[in-house]
Amino acid sequence: MITRRLALTATLATPFLARPALSQAATLNVNSALTADDPLFKGLEAFKQGVETRSNGRLQVRLYPSSQLGSDEDVLEQARAGAGVAVVVDGGRLAPFVREFGILGAPYIANGFPELRKLATSPLFDRWADRLRTASGHQVLSFNWFQGDRHLLTNRAIAAPADLNGLRLRTPGAPVWLETIRAMGATPTPLPWTEVYSALQLRAIDAAEAQYPALWGSRLYEVVRFITKTSHINLITGLIGSRIWFDRQPAELRTILREEALKGGDTGSQATLASLDDFETRLKAQGLTITTPDLAPFREATKVVYDKLNYAAVRREVEAVLAG
C-alpha cells in the first residue's frame, strides 16, 4: 500500500517538476529630475507604454520623477555598474567620459529642436555614443529629448551681459555650463536643482537659469521677478542606461528599447514645444516681467567658450552635420 502511494505521488509530481520555470520580465527603472507634470514626462510615459506593449510584457519600465532614485550622477554610476536603470541627462554630465558630448550644451550651438534632433541622429553622434559605451559603460537609448531654451532668472532687469556682473548665478556643474555663465558675466554657482528655490529665497544665490517647464515645476516664479529670454542653451537631453544591462537583453528587445526611446523623445519634445506659449502666459500672470534682449552681445560674449574648452574643431564637425 505504501509502495503504491509513493508511486502515485511520484507520477503526479513528475509533470510539475518537468515544467520549465517561467521567465521573469526584465525591469528598467527610469529616473528623472523632471516633475510628473513636466511636458517632457509625457515622452517617458509613451516610452513605457511602447516598450511594454511591443515586448508583450517581457520588459517592464518604471518611472521615477523628481529624482526619486537619487541624483543624476548617482544613477549614472549605478548604470556603469550594470544596474537596470536609465536617467534623462544633458551632455555635460557625459563629457567627463567622452568630451564631445559637452558641446551639446554649448551656447548657441544649434537653432532649436529640429537642428538638435538632426545632430542627435547623425553618424557623428553615433560615433560619440559608441565611444561612450567603451569609455564609461553607458548606453545611449536616444538623445532627442528637448526640454526648451534656457533663460536667465533674476531679481533685476538684464539687458546685456554687463548687467550680470557680480551676480552669483546657479548653473549645473559641467564645465560647458560653468564657462558659458562666466563668459556672460556672472559668477557660476553649481547647486543641485532641488536646492535652487531655497537658495534664491535665502539669497545664497542671486539668480538662476532654466527652461520654462522646469522653472514652473519648481515654482521659481515665487522667488524671481524677471525672465530674460537669452536662449543661451537649447537644452537637449538623452535617455542613458547601462551597456551591461542593455547587452544582456535579447536583440529584439534592444531594438524595441532604442526605437521606443526615439519615439518617446519626439513625443516629449513636441509636448514641450506646444507648452511654451502657455507657460509664458502663466508666468506673466504670476507677475513676472519677461523680456527678449538683443542676443548679439550674448552670442559674442560666449564665443570664447569654444576655445576655452577646446571645442573649435568639434564645432566645425557639428556645423557640417547641420549644414548637410
pLDDT in tens, 264-321: 999 999 999 999 999 999 999 999 999 999 999 999 999 999 999 999 999 999 999 9
Residue 194 confidence (pLDDT):
86
Q: Quick check: is 7 in a domain?
A: no
Q: Quick check: is 206 in a domain?
A: yes
User: Does 88 score more than 90 pLDDT?
Assistant: yes
CB 191 within 8 A of CB 213: no
Residue 269 maps to which CATH number?
A: 3.40.190.170
For the segment 169-190, the average pLDDT, to the nearest whole number, is: 95
The H or E element containing residue 51 is helix 41-54
Distance (Å, whole) CA 146 – CA 22? 39
Q: Quick check: is 103 in a domain?
A: yes
Q: Quick check: is 135 in a domain?
A: yes
Candidates 266, 271, 274; CA nearest to 121 is 266
Q: Quick check: is 17 in a domain?
A: no
CB 293 within 8 A of CB 159: yes
User: Does 15 score more than 60 pLDDT?
Assistant: no
Q: Quick check: is 263 in a domain?
A: yes
- pLDDT tens per residue, range 108-145: 999 999 999 999 999 999 999 999 999 999 999 999 99
Q: Quick check: is 203 in a domain?
A: yes
How far CA 232 is from CA of 36, 94, 116, 193, 301, in Å, comes to: 26, 20, 14, 18, 11
Range of the domain at 196: 26-323
Q: Judge if pTM exceeds 0.85.
A: yes
**Grid cell 556672472 in the structure block, residue:** 186
Distance (Å, whole) CA 267 – CA 261? 10
Q: Quick check: is 9 in a domain?
A: no
Total number of domains in the chain: 1
- Find residue 148's DSSP bridge partners: 235
- Beta-carbon neighbour count of residue 111 at 10 Å? 11
Among 10-14, 25-29, 262-266, 289-293, the minimum mean pLDDT is found in 10-14
Give, in degrees to the nearest 5, the angle at Cα 162 between 160 and 167: 110
Residue 233 confidence (pLDDT):
96
